[in-house]
Amino acid sequence: MSDSNVTFIGNLVADGELRFVGADGKPVYNNRIAVNKSKKVGDEWVNESSFFNISVWDSLGENFASLPKGTRVIVVGDLFVREYEKDGEKRQSLDVTVVAGGPDLKWATAEVTRTQADGAKGGAKKGTSKRAADPVYGDEEPF
């Protein structure tokens, strides 16, 4: 259960892992992000880092798997505390189940490849969209 919805801007710590789980082979991407903050203490700047585990499901997870280690990303998701035991010691980690995100375009460029409703790449053909009409824009494609 989610404790709160959060937005983080940070860097991918590793290349990440894309796995397919369950009987239906549902994709899930796992990685960690480092959120860095600089603050001035006296006359010196001090860097502080916080690390968060991220889980990204379905086609969003498959898309995240294309981002290499070190990529600055923006993630939006549900934050929760996971408790576990390691070497007989109880520990906690902050985990985020990502619901939206991608590369931070302040530090990178991106080439957008539209996906179909089923997550396949290539883009939907005009007039074949199976999504419901947007209440604000109707059937008009967002871009």
pLDDT of residue 111: 84
pLDDT mean across residues, the chain:
83
**Interval 65-72 mean pLDDT:** 95
**Interval 71-88 mean pLDDT:** 93
**Interval 60-88 mean pLDDT:** 94
Query: Residues 96, 101, 107, 111: is their CA dihedral positive or negative?
Result: positive
**Interval 40-65 mean pLDDT:** 93
Q: Which pTM was predicted?
A: 0.72
> Which alpha helices (H) appear in 70-137, and where do they start and end?
none
Reply yes or no on whether the pLDDT at 125 is more than 60. Answer: no
pLDDT of residue 130: 43
* Distance separating alpha carbons of residues 80 and 99, to the nearest angstrom: 14
In order of 30, 44, 83, the CA distances from 121 in angstroms are 21, 48, 37
Structural domains in the chain plus CATH codes: 4-103 (2.40.50.140)
Residue 67: CB atoms within 10 A of its CB come to: 19
